[in-house]
A and B are shown apart, each in its own frame.
Chain A
Amino acid sequence: MTDTPTAGAAPPAPDAAPGARPRAGRVLRYLGGRLLTAAVSLAAVMVTSFFLFRILPGDPVAAMTEGREVSVEQMEALRREFGLDQPLWRQFLDYCAGMLRLDLGVSYEFHRPVAELVAERIGPTVLLAGTGTLIAAALGLVLGTRAAWRRGSLGDRVNSSVALLLWSVPSFWLGLLLIVVLASGTGWLPGLFPTSGMMSADTAGGLDTAIDVAHHMVLPVATMVAVVYAQYLMIMRSSVLDEMGSDYLTTARAKGLRDDLVLRRHAVPNALLPTVTLIFLNLGRVFGGVILIETVFAWPGLGSLFYSGLKVPDLPLVQALFVIFASAVIIMNLLADLVYPLLDPRVRT
């Protein structure tokens, strides 16, 4: 390892003061690059979404008018209304134009603009997914750190075993179990929590509603946390174990720091770097889980909307939702790339 001085340092004379830093230009270029990649990914997702759902079997118009007396002319009129009589390339262009205008089309099933439906139901999904991820991350990080610090102890082994077990459990089954045990009135703790939905019909609004929503939220969030925290725990445990053999921890101990301070002030911040990135990148999985959990608990969010839309098939709806889910992941990846340099000074230069 040769001794190569950085700019401004010339032994044996004392270092010169730092010159103007051309970092702003580099940062902008990095940002621009990442934004461009994200935009390209987004475009690719939009194209995929369009073509993917055109393979859906079944005639949407037929599904829409099922059970109702309609003449052939009326079906033709419907087809024209939704642009389904146009050649495929025309439909594609209309779709792209619409996307760029943020006009997501009109739902076949609900006869309302998709954008409106999304606006209505994005709140509950964000509430569920956000709360679940935050709790799971906090739990996973704390338990993972403790497991690593006391590696091999009973606590560590119990923690890791429970995490492994919960990781293997299908989330929907766990949700069902929780419903049976805690909600449906026939388990051991009858009727502790509501079995489905987000709100009861008879709340007075304001604080009352908030408490009611929270009450409904407990089981779905618990299910989500149980399945997701295990991943964060294992990642954090592994990261901390990676750090624990490091020399700078010996330096910290030699300075007279207590063991828990060595852990908190030195090992954990270093271990958090790869963990935080992985948490962001894992959010794709979280969305898959959200769809499941919303379906099991009848939570009125985007996930259950997507699932019910697939059956019709409600093309504009599922196309738009697919793009939204994928975009959320793309945005999270972008955020991960942008946040990492803030946390790790070694990457900033």
Chain B
Amino acid sequence: MTLLEVEDLTVSYRIAGGEAPAVRGVSFSLAPGSKLGVAGESGCGKSTVALALLRLLPKTARIGGSIRVDGEDVIGMRWGRLRAVRWAGASIVFQGAMHSLNAVRRVGDQIAEPILLHGTAPRSEVPERVGTLLERVGLPRWRSRSYPHELSGGQRQRVMIAMALACEPKLIVADEPTTALDVMIQAQILRLIDELVGGQGIGMLMISHDLAVLADTCDRLAVMYAGRIVEEGPAAAVVADARHPYGAALSAAFPKIGDPASRRAPRGLPGDPPDPADLPQGCSFRPRCPVAEERCAEVDPVLYPVPGGRSAACVKVRAEEAV
């Protein structure tokens, strides 16, 4: 049974003068022990998707579609059941651990908090469990007495990971887990996540704007733009040979080490992502697309299948595959 099943998820924020659709019909699924990456620029809706999974969005957000975690419908879940599923069923590793951790409480207390709340371990065993978790992420036990500001960025991120594992969840969502970390530390953290998740059969949803990070760690990759998934498929294939122009641009933005041609190739896209409250007609990528055509202004593409277990939301793809 799939661990996570999202079908046609929509999220709209109530703003002055109407609604802004942040997520417009996203669907994907995740099997236990597999890793799915979600890539995209800021504002494409990927963090919104992450928060929506556990209904952590603010009250001004309206959710539509269906989210099923381990077979249970999250959107219609009763409040009490939702709180039980939070952290014990699925947990989140937030980005920017300096602000995601409570600055005036010791790190050990914060890791212990969900354990005590969900009763994952009896009270007397909690300190031992916290110590074990810290060691698993590569921190010494005595660190549980530290405050967040006494730790480096990498150490704080390890604490967030230890905290996410505290209640032995089946699903972990990592929202930009390595953003704002140095490259060396990034590599360490990614390796750590790989070990912990792979070894335990936990399913993982990793979100990042850094395609290189996702390419290394994930099995499958989804690229989001303006609230929709525009490309999806096995990670290596999507990065090496993206079929959607945006996916191609993203992957080209990161130079391949050792390939001089890619260093000299033009990179980056002009312009900014569209304002959710004011989306262009037809394909939302059209204003920035290097290969846009006339029909792109009329047709709003959906995900068309591409051989190799892939799909891409571009009219060109539909044309090619039809041939």
Contacts and interface: CB of A to CB of B under 8 A. Distances in A.
A9 B56 contact: no
Nearest to B106: A345
A69 B235 CA distance: 108
Contact of B92 (A5, A11, A14, A254): A254
A152 B142 CA distance: 44
A153 to B, nearest CB: 12
A2 B182 contact: yes
Contacts of B304: none
A344 interface: yes
A66 interface: no
Interface string B206-219: 00000000000000
Contacts of A2: 153, 182
B188 A11 contact: yes
B188 A12 contact: yes
A56 to B, nearest CB: 50
A248 interface: yes
Interface string A271-287: 00100000000000000
Interface string B261-281: 000000000000000000000
Interface in A10-30: 11-12, 14-15, 17-18
A14 B117 contact: no
A256 B84 contact: yes
A9 B142 CA distance: 12
Interface residues of B, number: 44
Contacts of B129: none
B118 interface: yes
A266 interface: yes
Given A4-B152, A251-B94, A346-B149, A17 B103 contact: no
Contacts of B98: 1
B102 A266 contact: yes
B181 A247 contact: no
A270 B153 contact: no
Contacts of B181: 3
A141 B101 CA distance: 24
A31 B278 CA distance: 58
A344 B102 CA distance: 11
Interface in B218-234: none
B139 A15 contact: yes
B140 A3 contact: no
B140 A15 contact: yes
Nearest to B113: A255
Interface residues of A, number: 34
Contact of B102 (A1, A4, A254, A270): A270
Nearest to A16: B140
Interface in A302-322: none
B86 interface: yes
B100 A346 contact: no
A93 to B, nearest CB: 50
Interface in B49-64: 51, 54, 56
Interface string B60-104: 000000000000000000000001111110011010101111111
B288 interface: no
B129 to A, nearest CB: 15
Contact of B91 (A1, A246, A254): A254
A273 B152 contact: no
A254 B154 contact: no
Contacts of B140: 14-15, 17
B83 A258 contact: yes
A345 B147 contact: yes
A254 B101 contact: no
B240 interface: no
Given A5-B155, A256-B88, A349-B149, 11 more contacts: A1-B153, A4-B153, A12-B138, A12-B188, A14-B138, A18-B142, A251-B94, A251-B101, A255-B87, A270-B102, A345-B104
Smallest CB-CB A-B distances: 6 pairs? A256-B86, A247-B99, A256-B83, A5-B152, A255-B114, A3-B182
7 contacts: A17-B142, A248-B99, A254-B87, A256-B83, A345-B103, A346-B103, A346-B104
